[in-house]
Amino acid sequence: MLNARPLPHYLVQRYHGWRATSYAENRAWYRRLADEGQRPRAMVISCCDSRVHVTSIFGADTGEFFIHRNVANLVPPYAPDGLQHGTSAAVEYAVNTLKVAHLIVLGHSQCGGVAGCHAMCSGAAPELEEATSFVGRWMDILRPGYEQVRDLPLEEQVPALERVAVKVSLENLLTFPFVVAAVESGQLTLHGLMHDIREGELTMLDRDRYVPV
């Protein structure tokens, strides 16, 4: 039996405020999106973290980005094993159906998922090693990245692993045959970004190094 409850009052108020202002001022655009479908120019894979506000960072309009969020902005390797793969399904839809021109992996500072992966791999979070831990099994995607940072000074390891997470996701994207085909045909370009929450800075991968946007 479902136990769904009405929305809290503050969310109801915000909805009515949005519909009376942003929606009312752009009614024709919303109706066009409904009637003609979406045509986003880019897909963004970002973290679930509430502090990462993708559309605000880029000043994006409704319908401009196809956004998929998961813990630590990770992409698993291509694995057509019959299991449920939400991220892989989103990538497939964006590339094969929506024909996005850009696929962006957006990492960020102070990422709790990456910190959890570091704790798990360093032996500080044995609970994440349990087979029943959804977070732990998801963070297994980043486990190879831990080997790249484990010899750094301790205080540098988690920030370095946050950057490595973006690279791991980009590398895993290139295990998807349809992504490789789209990149090689010139239909699709891949991008890796890091967002510094405290400073509001954005850096991008230029080959193997991060440079300011």
Which residues contribute to the annotated binding site for Zn(2+)?
Answer: 47, 49, 108, 111
Q: How many angstroms separate the CA atoms of 134 and 143, rounded?
A: 14
> Which residues have a Cβ under 8 Å from the Cβ of 6 and sit 6 or more positions away?
none
Q: How many angstroms separate the CA atoms of 33 and 95, rounded?
A: 19
Residue numbering of the annotated binding site: 47, 49, 108, 111
HSE (CB half, 13 Å, CA atoms) of 88? 16
Is residue 65 classed as helix, strand or coil in its secondary structure?
A: strand
Beta strands in 35-155 (DSSP E): 42-47, 65-70, 102-108
> Which residues have a Cβ under 8 Å from the Cβ of 159 and sit 6 or more positions away?
109
